[in-house]
Chains A and B, each alone.
Chain A
Amino acid sequence: MSAGIDSTRGQDPPARSRIRIESDTPVPQTGITGPSVNGHRITAPEVVFDSQDVSIFYGAKQALAGVTLRIRSGQITALIGPSGCGKTTFLRSLNRMNDSVPSFRIEGQILYHGHDIYGGNVDQVEVRRRIGMVFQKPNPFPKSIYDNVAWAPRNLGLKSELDDRVEKALRGAALWDEVKDRLKDSALGLSGGQQQRLCIARAIAIEPSVLLLDEPASALDPIATGAIEELMHSLKGRFTIVIVTHNMQQAARVADRTAFFSLEMSGEKPTGALIEFDDTETIFGRPRDPRTRDYVTGRFG
């Protein structure tokens, strides 16, 4: 635990039932080296997101209840579960993409490197600048391939060596070789898989520290999906990655840690909840919770 987790709000345990996941289980050192901070190599990856008893509401409807988990630096964390279980809602609350939903309300706290993401003096544009996001459906801008990638760096004033930055981002997204001769062409002419990799390139061009991926391969064919998964491996370590996926094999292939969400009855209405969060091998090999076991063995969902 190197990040100071000083909760600024008081935390009363809520009355409703919730599942607390013991997130201080030691992280296995399976070759994951943490990022270096101030030149010191640290062995236990730093906590990037510390979600403390987070509940999310849309108007009167509760979408998510009491999620507590910690996401560590440089790892790939997968959020899995049946549809409607609130995993995407949770992901979108990590970079405040839900703010534009008028009736959105959040309880509990999400700390990013110890800073409350929903704190009073937080700038949501800064949040998104540091915590990038790639969406389910590829959404390239109706601009050229080059401009898609160069747009955000230009906004941020990262204009020196822009061409290099664009090339680096496209290489990082394993797209450079396919598009280097047609950077001026419209991005809308790319295939779905290429478009999604362009969106990833666009996101990493401004060097965020976290990448949130919301089912990035669900709209793609198996080959393009394979390319995206390969890409995730290559991005691992440079970025902290949180990925929502429907596809359990995908989670098993790419993720270090996996969180299983499900719909639980809270009173009358089903509400999303975190059931179990552990190393990916544990979740898929010997899950502790019977509901997780049922889901990963395909008995439900």
Chain B
Amino acid sequence: MSTPAAPPALQNPRAARARSRRKKADRIGDRLLFGICLAAAILAIAVIVLIGYEVVNGAGPAISKFGLGFLVHQDWQPNFKIFGAGSLLFGTVVTSTFALLLGAPIAISIGLYLSLLAPAGVRGIVSPLVEMLAAIPSVILGFWGVLVLAPFVHEHMEPWLHGAFGFIPIFGSPETTGASIFTASLILTIMVIPIIASISRDLFLAVPRDLQDGASALGATRWEVVRGVVLPSTSSGVVAASLLGLGRALGEAIAVSQVVGAGSAIQTSLFKTGDTLAARIANQFPGTGPGLYQSSLFYLGVILLVIGLISNLVAQWIGRRFSYEGAVAR
């Protein structure tokens, strides 16, 4: 809304009064809009703080009862009011690490393909498809995991892996169903790939063209350009992206609870059932009432929140350091 500026010479008292009213309105308007925006921003910060408070608050009784020993104790026996997060922590770490070890290389390769190899037409199709993968709701992925992936894992992958790599204890003999740490890890892999892939694609696309030209003008093969220039100048960003993927895997509750089999022991074989912090909450919370049981589930939430925040903060920190370096380098 542009205000037509009246030439000062032609002022009349009425116009002047109208203008001063308007000025006053503008001052109030400016203050008001700024105030509302500021309030919204502060509300966001307050929500974060409140989330932390509520979760810790809910965990209060369990924290005072079990202390830090909760982290290592493996027993989880609601009937005897004995709770420990040991095996869940183990399951969380194993599934997330597995997902990251398998998913990150695939995702980074996809990022390389989309940014450096794919013809423009193919990129325009494959790029949104990869992001579609991230749009599939976890509950549907988990449902698909139980009914399609788990049977396939049970009938084909477990026997094959056991046959080929059975000398490694993690590939134990096949179990009765496909619900296992292994299947959960595969589901998480599917979930982290699109996250890491789209971030690393954007990072690789931002590598200055003249650096890549400089490398290929020295008689470097495509891989050597990637290895020598593209990856080193994006490495911290890629690490940050992987950490964001890890954070996603650590916190995924629904899909994991559907396929992991809700086991309560630490097992060597990946084909056994297990459970994770997030999945245990999703699985058992709806059936509890107030009390130590519920509070222990909140305690699991506290652990999850702490791990999640740390991986997120580290990712942000690395990501920022990277963009700072980039600003200096260019």
In the complex, A touching B, CB below 8 Å? Answer: yes
Interface on A for B, CB 8 Å cutoff?
Answer: 95, 97, 100, 102, 125-126, 128-130, 132-135, 137, 139-143, 151-152, 155-156, 188, 199, 202-203, 206, 208
Cβ contact of B218, chosen from A100, A152, A188, cutoff 8 A: A152
Please list 8 pairs of residues, one from A and one from B, whose beta carbons are closer than 8 Å in the complex, sorted by A's number: A100-B216, A129-B219, A133-B217, A135-B217, A141-B214, A152-B220, A155-B221, A206-B219
Residue pair A202, B329 in contact (C-beta under 8 Å): no
In the complex, the answer to whether B224 meets A128 with C-beta atoms within 8 Å is no
Classify the interface of chain B: helix, strand, loop or mixed: helix
Instruction: Tell me, rounded to whole Å, the shortest Cβ–Cβ distance linking A239 to chain B.
Output: 14
Instruction: Specify which chain B residues have a CB less than 8 angstroms from the CB of A100 in the assembled complex.
Output: 213, 216
A103 to chain B, nearest CB (A): 10
**B residues 179-220 with Cβ under 8 Å of A?**
208, 210-211, 213-220
On whether the beta carbons of A139 and B220 are closer than 8 Å, the reply is no
Looking at B119, B120, B221, B228, which has the most chain A CB atoms within 10 Å of its CB? Answer: B228
Contacts of B217 in A (CB 8 A): 95, 97, 128, 132-135, 203
Give the 8 A-B residue pairs with the shortest CB-CB distance, closest first: A129-B219, A152-B218, A133-B217, A139-B214, A139-B210, A128-B219, A155-B224, A142-B329
Asked if B219 contacts A155 (CB within 8 A), the reply is yes
Complex interface: chain B residues within 8 A of A137 (CB): 210
Shortest Cβ distance from residue B91 to the other chain A in the assembled complex, whole angstroms? 40
Distance between B236 CB and nearest chain A CB, rounded to angstroms: 12
- Judge whether B218 and A102 touch: CB under 8 Å: no
Question: How many angstroms from the CA of A132 to the CA of B215 in the assembled complex?
Answer: 10
Residue pair A135, B219 in contact (C-beta under 8 Å): no
> Which chain A residue shows the least CB distance to B217?
A133
Least CB distance from A91 to B in Å reads 11
- Closest approach, in angstroms, between the C-beta of B304 and any C-beta of chain A? 37
A152 CA to B213 CA, complexed, in Å = 13
Q: How far is the CB of A205 from chain B (nearest CB, A)?
A: 8
Please indicate which of the listed interface residues B217, B232, B329 has the most CB atoms of chain A within 10 Å of its own CB. Answer: B217
* Contact between A151 and B228, CB atoms less than 8 A apart: yes
Complex contacts, A188 vs chain B, CB 8 Å: 328-329
In the complex, chain B residues whose CB is within 8 Å of the CB of A125:
216, 219-221
CA distance in complex: A97, B216 (Å): 8
Inter-chain CA distance A67–B216, complex, in Å, is 26
Are A97 and B213 within 8 A (Cβ)? yes
B233 is an interface residue with CB less than 8 A from chain A: yes
Complex: chain B residue closest to A151, CB-CB: B228
B229 part of interface (Cβ distance < 8 Å):
yes
A residues within 8 A CB of B218? 128-129, 132, 151-152, 155, 202-203, 206
B227's closest neighbor in chain A, by CB?
A: A155
| Minimum distance in angstroms from B221 CB to a CB of chain A | 5
Tell me which of B119, B221, B228, B328 contacts A141 (CB under 8 A).
Answer: B228
Known: A102-B120, A188-B329. Is A139-B213 also a contact (CB below 8 A)? yes
- Using CB atoms, name the residue of chain A closest to B328: A188
The residue on A at minimum CB distance from B216 is: A128
Contacts of B214 in A (CB 8 A): 135, 139-141, 199, 202
- Residues of chain B contacted by A143 (CB below 8 angstroms): 232
Q: In B79-110, which residues have CB < 8 Å from any A CB?
A: none
Q: A141-B215, A155-B218, A155-B219 given. 17 additional CB < 8 A pairs?
A: A95-B217, A100-B213, A125-B219, A125-B221, A137-B210, A139-B208, A141-B229, A142-B329, A151-B228, A152-B218, A152-B219, A152-B220, A155-B221, A199-B214, A202-B218, A203-B217, A206-B219
From residue A92, how far is it (CB to closest CB) to chain B in Å? 9
Shortest Cβ gap from B107 to chain A (Å): 24
Give Cα distance in the complex from A203 to B214, angstroms.
Answer: 9
Q: Which of B119, B213, B221, B328 counts the most A-chain CB atoms under 10 A from its CB?
A: B213
Given the complex, which residues of A lie within 8 Å of B233, measured CB to CB?
Answer: 142
Min distance, Cβ B231 to any Cβ of chain A, angstroms:
12
A126-B219, A206-B218 as given contacts; A135 in contact with B213, CB under 8 Å? yes
Contacts of B210 in A (CB 8 A): 135, 137, 139
Closest chain B residue, CB of each to CB of A153:
B218
Contacts of A102 in B (CB 8 A): 119-120
